[in-house]
Structure 1
Amino acid sequence: MELLHSGKVRDVYVDRGDLILVASDRVSIYDVVLPTPIPDKGKILTQLSLWWFEQLSDVAPNHVLSATDVPSDWVGRAVRCQRLNMVMVECIARGYLAGSGLKEYEKDRTVSGIALPEGLREASRLSEPIFTPTTKVAPGEGHDEFITYADVESQVGPDVAAELRRITLEVYRRGEEIARSRGIIIADTKIELGVHGGTLVIADELLTPDSSRFWSADEYRPGETPRYLDKQFLRDWSAAELTGWDRTPPGPEIPEQVVEATRSRYVEVYERLTGDRWR
């Protein structure tokens, strides 16, 4: 096998014409990989993504060819995948106002060019989910920026843009409905899509604590900062405790208690969504 790419979390290998996508225990915030791993993170991301791919298989095809035809050392955290021509747009759906979406709203009451009502606060539920795409910037080359739907149309054409929006919003709607029945709110999510044989295919991961904001439904209060069950917990820790860090490499070590608190959130999300106990 040949190492094709090593990303912030995943390593990609080429094997017999397919891709082997290996999820590590690395964790990144603000596009910086921190030196301390989160135990089991790679396996949780992989297994939860596989669960969601099965739940949402009728929304759009996904890139997985096999979860078992991988090197034995990687079983559980690797998948064999199709090679795709990736769409260079970050496809994001939001049902609630949080994170960068909230910051964008506070500027001029819009997100990705979509006008929203006055008076929304942190964690406000939107009247309907919205498609808020961003640019897709390579690691180390800056940060993703919000773009409008018209920008997406000009980049990929109106037909592909419409399908990107449809898939993204349907993934969110269906995922949020399933999660809510299990006591979890999905505030927003990001998905990656590529093209194979002229068809848009979901790639990378799906509705995980790395790609989505998860809140416990019974603790949700509009206008208050929710208890995050995802990577936002680490971002909030760094903002509160690492006032001297300028968010550039090298990243800081993560204290043991913060590592365990982060891991416990990933495990909680996996167990509550799938109904299976994490082994």
Structure 2
Amino acid sequence: MAVLLQTDLPFPIFRRGKVRDVYDLGDRLLIVATDRISAFDCVMPEGIPDKGRILTAVASFWFSATEDLVPNHFRGSASWPADLLPYREGLEGRAVIVEKTRPLPVECVVRGYLAGSGWKEYQAGGAVCGVALPPGLRLADRLPEPIFTPATKAESGHDENIPFERMAEIVGADLAARLRDLSLALYRRGAELAARRGILLADTKFEFGLSQEGEVLLIDEALTPDSSRYWLADGWQPGRNPPSLDKQFLRDYLERLEDWDKQPPAPHLPVEIVDGIRARYLDLATRFGVTV
């Protein structure tokens, strides 16, 4: 199956992320989700067939399902400017037009279960991003309440978990509180809708930006398998990582490699890993009734 690793459109490039190519359309942006996949801050040489379309469809589902909680930057994929029409066929299903915003320099992470970097922090000191947790918790345990654990956004290298007080210093106390409350509300909505489909939303991250009028908008992506940890509810058992429908399958494979130090260049992925990632992403999309 063909994959799209990079686009080359005749518009000013706004930025190329690990997955998305973003073009400047003046007061709006064109975001194209490629089939690239990254782990440990490295982009893999192989793409995942249909991944960009899956991410775009899942994000669109969640933007619609949460717009009553917070407006988002999504401005559609149907009414394309005339100068984009010659490229529409190749971009169909993986490109959206969004409002240009001023992105806020923090990632808003919410955790409902103990996993990933949060588990490592808890093992080291009994807290995650300064949030003290009860003693004796196990890997994959459900937390008493979802917790907000922000992080800095790094252009290169690893994001850094920070306490809420540091976030307040970066964006201001009032805005920090607003983003925390919005993130927790979004997580609870995501967890509720996922649970109906036999999935646990273990954790996720949101990004926000300010419109020209100063309105807070949800931007980038929302509750996709790239930005979230989704577990199969019937396979959840505290004390071990449950079966997932996200990037954990890739991370687990890379962790088993003895000859890669998590620095570029990333290793090539065998066919069974590529196929396994695609199957998990498609499974998640199907459970939400998303057509790719």
TM-score of Structure 1 vs Structure 2, range by shorter chain: over 0.9
Does the aligned pair in 2 maintain the 1:219–1:226 contact within 8 Å?
A: yes
Return closer, same or farther for 1:16/1:87 CA change in 2, 3 Å cut-off: closer
Counterpart of 2:264?
249
* 2:268 partner SS: coil
Structure-1-length-normalised TM-score: 0.96
Match in the other structure for 1:230: 246
TM-score (norm 2): 0.92
Matches within 5 A, 1:56-135: 56-70=66-80, 71=84, 72=88, 73-135=90-152
8 Å Cα contact 1:68/1:75 also seen in 2:
no
Return 5+ residue gaps in structure 2 as ranges. 1-10
Query: Once the 2 structures are TM-superposed, how far is the Cα of residue 68 of structure 1 from its aligned partner?
Result: 2.2
Question: Could you say which residue in structure 1 is the equivalent of 2:176?
Answer: 161
Q: CA deviation at 1:179?
A: 0.3
1:215 aligns with 2:225: no
Q: What is the percentage of aligned positions where both structures have the same residue?
A: 48
Structure-2 separation of matches of 1:115 and 1:164:
20
Alignment-mate amino acid for residue 271 of structure 1? T
Q: Distance between the aligned counterparts of 1:75 and 1:19, measured in 2?
A: 16
CA distance in 2, matches of 1:247, 1:69: 42
Match of 2:4 in 1: none
3-state DSSP class of the match of 1:209?
coil
**How far is the alpha carbon of 1:16 from its aligned partner?**
3.8
- Superposition CA RMSD, Å: 1.0
1:69 CA drift (Å) = 3.4
Runs of 4+ in 1 over 6 A off after TM superposition: none
Q: How far off its partner does 1:54 sit? A: 0.6
Instruction: Find the partner of 2:41 among 31, 37, 40.
Output: 31
Where structure 1 has 5 or more consecutive residues not aligned to the other structure, the ranges are none
Separation in 2 of the partners of 1:175 and 1:238? 28
Distance 2:140 2:179 in 1: 25
In the alignment, what sits opposite 2:208?
Answer: 193
